[in-house]
């Protein structure tokens, strides 16, 4: 299983707010895309940053051209991939914390500006966030994401997957990937939502990597503002599963207790030339900003 190789006193790579960081590499340079926060009432989309060495970063500004406000005012969790000679950004947009749907935007360069393609990839979902496009070794593409599920023993936000045969086209029906299986994944007890009251669980931020013949699904769970928030890992023989996760009393891959950071989570995984790296966010000591950290991932 993978483990986080974090120093005793980890430091963020930047002081700025940079949540849900997606780390990747294009044309020999490193890029990261992250969720920003509204400033002075202005709607912002995503900041893109670039580096030659993973230490010194240059801001490229706002990477996505905003949509009309009818689509929402909150943009979350961008991920960018190269496909068919262009760059594709998958993200969600909604009104505050409600009615989010996953969309895709395109650009000719990884710097952007990315322009929305006019496609809602999750029209059948009541709420969908945290899109993760994954290309398997055989060239097949899949789209993992989080969605609300009201049925079952632990209602809340679960994980799903569908095919991604074209950059702007998904499969006819998404398949369940992972449901909550432990109390540490509770977002809020007695939450009023969809006209009912639930002990609401949350799984979010899926990211998949292949190591050997196995697939590893990293996911965040719990309340992103709570002390129990963290990252665990599920495994499968195929992107469509079956995905297996052993129920535990807390996050196994990354948690506040194991990292000594507040609210670590929503990580991405990148295969470098010699190492596997993960980028994730955690709160600063004042809890005023979620900042990006980068650390190696080791497989035992």
The CATH number of whichever domain residue 237 belongs to comes to 2.115.10.20
Q: Would 292 be classed as within a structural domain?
A: no
Q: Which domain holds residue 198?
A: 26-255
Alpha helices in the chain (DSSP H): 256-259
Is residue 34 assigned to a domain? yes
Cα torsion angle, 11, 35, 22, 130, sign: positive
Angle at 34 between CA 83 and CA 86, to 5 degrees: 15
- Predicted local distance difference test score (pLDDT) of residue 227: 86
Q: Which residue carries 């709420």 as its tokens?
A: 127
Residue 97 placed within a domain: yes
Which tokens is 272 given? 């470098």
Residue 108 lies in a domain: yes
List of residues 6+ apart from 219 with CB closer than 8 A = 159, 178, 203, 204, 205, 206, 207, 231, 232, 233, 234
Indicate the number of domains in the chain: 1
- CA distances (Å), origin 267, targets 103, 149, 174, 204, 205: 20, 23, 23, 10, 7
- Which pTM was predicted? 0.97
Residue 300 domain flag: no
Confirm whether 14 is domain-assigned. Answer: no
Q: Is residue 267 part of a domain?
A: no
| pLDDT number for residue 41 | 65
Active-site annotation holder among 53, 137, 204, 225: 204
Q: Per the domain annotation, does 19 fall within a domain? A: no
User: For the chain, which ranges sit under pLDDT 70?
Assistant: 38-41
Question: What is the per-residue pLDDT for 39?
Answer: 65
* β-strands 276-283, 262-271 pairing: antiparallel
Q: Does residue 166 have an active-site annotation?
A: no
Q: Judge whether 105 and 202 are in contact, CB under 8 Å.
A: no
Q: What is the pLDDT of residue 96?
A: 85
Give residue-wise pLDDT tens across range 170-187.
999 999 999 999 999 999
pLDDT value of residue 258: 95
Supply the pLDDT for residue 38: 66
Please tell me the predicted confidence (pLDDT) of residue 42: 75
| 20 catalytic per annotation | yes
- Assess contact for 29 and 47: CB atoms under 8 A: no
pLDDT of 61 reads 95
Q: Which of 5, 15, 20, 192 is catalytic?
A: 20
* Cβ pair 94, 74 in contact under 8 A: yes
In the chain, at which residue ranges do the beta strands (DSSP E only) sit? 2-4, 19-26, 29-35, 46-51, 57-62, 74-83, 86-95, 98-107, 115-120, 128-135, 141-149, 156-163, 175-178, 186-193, 196-211, 214-221, 230-236, 262-271, 276-283, 290-299
d(CA 143, CA 1): 23
Contact 132, 141 (CB under 8 A): no
Q: What is the pLDDT of residue 37?
A: 84
Six token digits for residue 12: 């963020």
């Amino acid at each position: 299983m993978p483990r986080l190789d974090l120093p005793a006193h980890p430091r963020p790579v930047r002081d700025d707010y940079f949540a849900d960081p997606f780390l990747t590499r294009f044309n020999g340079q490193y890029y990261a895309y992250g969720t920003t926060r509204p400033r002075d009432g202005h709607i912002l989309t995503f900041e893109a940053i670039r580096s030659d060495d993973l230490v010194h970063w240059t801001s490229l500004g706002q990477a996505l051209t905003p949509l009309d406000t009818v689509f929402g005012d909150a943009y979350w969790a961008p991920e960018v991939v190269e496909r068919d000679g262009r760059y594709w950004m998958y993200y969600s947009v909604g009104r505050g914390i409600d009615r989010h749907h996953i969309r895709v935007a395109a650009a000719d360069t990884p710097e952007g500006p990315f322009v929305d393609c006019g496609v809602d990839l999750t029209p059948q979902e009541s709420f969908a966030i945290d899109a993760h496009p994954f290309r398997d070794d055989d060239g097949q593409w899949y789209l993992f994401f989080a969605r609300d599920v009201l049925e079952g023993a632990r209602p809340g936000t679960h994980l799903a997957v569908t095919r991604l045969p074209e950059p702007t086209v998904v499969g006819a029906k998404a398949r369940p990937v992972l449901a909550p299986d432990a109390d540490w994944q509770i977002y809020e007890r007695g939450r009023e939502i969809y006209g009912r009251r639930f002990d609401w669980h949350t799984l979010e931020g899926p990211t998949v990597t292949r190591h050997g013949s196995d697939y590893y699904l990293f996911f965040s769970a719990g309340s992103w503002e709570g002390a129990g928030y963290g990252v665990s890992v599920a495994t499968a023989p195929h992107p469509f599963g079956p995905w297996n996760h052993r129920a535990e009393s807390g996050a196994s891959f990354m948690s506040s207790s194991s990292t000594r950071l507040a609210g670590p989570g929503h990580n991405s995984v990148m295969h470098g030339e010699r190492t596997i790296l993960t980028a994730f966010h955690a709160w600063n000591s004042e809890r005023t900003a979620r900042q990006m950290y980068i650390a190696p991932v080791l497989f035992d």
